[in-house]
A and B are shown apart, each in its own frame.
Chain A
Amino acid sequence: DAKTTQPPSMDCAEGRAANLPCNHSTISGNEYVYWYRQIHSQGPQYIIHGLKNNETNEMASLIITEDRKSSTLILPHATLRDTAVYYCIEARGSTLGRLYFGRGTQLTVWP
């Protein structure tokens, strides 16, 4: 079962940063925080993941609190194409393909 909590919806102006929060207060020491997104009618797409350090890639940044009980996904310059459902998921490194999705956050980017 999904163990993360996310707001059901958020919106953001195009060109602004989108900050998507996630609570994972029961995360285990060996579990990573993964973020995926699902654009309408497509399969989910990997965005980023982290264990305890902040991470950045070409798509986004991931900020994990020191106690690891919450994290924030940052899309630095949101575009209309970033409109999607964003899922925050806990996964162990040995079973990262076995994912338990919560309801996610519907992010709407408006012009």
Chain B
Amino acid sequence: SAVISQKPSRDICQRGTSLTIQCQVDSQVTMMFWYRQQPGQSLTLIATANQGSEATYESGFVIDKFPISRPNLTFSTLTVSNMSPEDSSIYLCSVEGRRDTEAFFGQGTRLTVV
């Protein structure tokens, strides 16, 4: 299994500001994934982050709003830019397991924008 640590676990931010969420994995992984879970909703894939290349964004998500960094094989960051209350969600990081049979998720970052 993979152990994933996300920081911060929660935050309350002012609208118009930006927040960077960190995701650290205890082993090297090729791909990392970022998800958003809006209140009372299911998870939605934001983007796939590969080391050494630009992230691939899903429909409805753009790099200017959710810039992603992937500096090495164990770490990634997701920034939520120019936040509005609609960005209040749980943001989760995920990786594929070494056996390539399952995905592992962090505990998420609970973001509230006021």
Q: What residues make up the interface of A, taking CB atoms closer than 8 Å to B? A: 2, 34, 36, 38, 42-46, 49, 85, 87, 93, 96-104
Contact = CB atoms under 8 A, between A and B. Distances in A.
Interface of B: 4, 31, 33, 42-45, 48, 92, 94-96, 100-108
Contacts of B105: 43-45
9 closest residue pairs by CB, A with B: A43-B105, A46-B102, A97-B96, A101-B42, A101-B43, A97-B103, A44-B105, A43-B107, A97-B33
Contact of B48 (A2, A97, A100, A101): A97
Contacts, number: 53
Task: Determine chain B's interface SS by DSSP, over half rule.
Answer: strand
A104 B44 CA distance: 13
A45 B43 CA distance: 13
Nearest to B94: A97
A26 B23 CA distance: 34
B92 A96 contact: no
B43 to A, nearest CB: 4
A97 B94 CA distance: 7
B50 to A, nearest CB: 11
Contact of A49 (B4, B42, B95, B102): B102
Contact of A103 (B42, B48, B100, B103): B42
Residue from B4, B92, B103 whose CB has the most chain A CB atoms within 10 Å: B103
Contact of A98 (B48, B101, B107): B48
B42 A99 contact: no
Nearest to B1: A46
Given A43-B106, A43-B107, A96-B102, 9 more contacts: A42-B108, A43-B94, A46-B102, A49-B101, A96-B100, A96-B101, A97-B96, A97-B103, A98-B45
A58 B103 CA distance: 18
